[in-house]
Amino acid sequence: MVKKNTCIFISGYGSNLQTLIKKSRDYNFPAKIKLVISNNLNAKGIFHAKKNSIPYYIVNTQKRNYDYELLKEIKKYKISLICLAGYMKIIPDRFIKNFRKKIINVHPSLLPKYKGLKTYERVIKNKDIVTGCTIHYVSKNLDSGQIILQKKFFVKKDDDISVLKHKTQKLERKAFFESIIQIFRYT
């Protein structure tokens, strides 16, 4: 199988990155992780890139026109798909337009519910019965692009923020994996 070159953007732990690197070794998985981008020099996730000899690039989002340099870097690797996996910065609209390929994001709620931050807090505050995660295409409005896949679970009475986070992130890893298969198989 000819695998599509994929780039993962991270800001922190990179648990989604870790799983994707592992899964990408499956013969049948359609993506190969060619590049990791982090906006945070100290992101723990960079360790996974280093350990697996995957090139990584630290982007300085404070720099004017940083998106041009970033795009130049990404183009070197002939990237077909960008996965935002815990990337905590907004992607400039100009970058989305210039990249012209697919960009997907993982979000820890059942969109369109709870766009933005503090999703677990809002689930608890509103006494939601069900929550989960969403994989969606990235568009110019935050957490608003077309939904690819969602995974849900029932919230238990005693679930606190850390329990919700744990359960949601477990589903995120599965959802990412399945979405990438879906994207490359059906589009």
DSSP state of 48: H
With binding defined as CB under 6 A, does residue 159 bind ligand GRF? no
Residues 5, 13, 40, 151: which binds ligand GRF (CB under 6 A)?
A: 13
Q: Which amino acid is at 8?
A: I
Active site residue 107: yes
With binding defined as CB under 6 A, does residue 14 bind ligand GRF? yes
CA 23, 88, 167, 46 torsion-angle sign: positive
Q: Which three-class secondary structure state does DSSP give residue 3? A: coil
Cα separation, 143 vs 111, in Å, equals 8
Q: Which is nearer to ligand GRF, 68 or 122 (CB)?
A: 122
Q: What's the N-to-C CA distance of the chain in angstroms?
A: 16
Of 10-18, 25-33, 138-146, 150-158, the segment contacting ligand GRF by CB under 6 A is 10-18
Q: Which is nearer to ligand GRF, 34 or 107 (CB)?
A: 107
Of 59-67, 71-79, 90-98, 106-114, the segment contacting ligand GRF by CB under 6 A is 106-114
Cα separation, 145 vs 183, in Å, equals 15
Contact status, residue 49 vs residue 56, Cβ threshold 8 Å: yes
Q: Which is nearer to ligand GRF, 10 or 104 (CB)?
A: 10
As measured in angstroms, the least distance from the Cβ of 16 to ligand GRF is: 3
Centre a 10 Å sphere on the Cβ of residue 150 and count the other Cβ atoms it contains: 16
Q: Which is nearer to ligand GRF, 80 or 105 (CB)?
A: 105
With binding defined as CB under 6 A, does residue 138 bind ligand GRF? no
As measured in angstroms, the least distance from the Cβ of 27 to ligand GRF is: 24
DSSP state of 155: P
Token reading at 102: 């697919």
Interface with ligand GRF (CB under 6 A): 10, 12-17, 45, 85-86, 106-108, 169, 172
- Residues labelled as active-site residues: 107
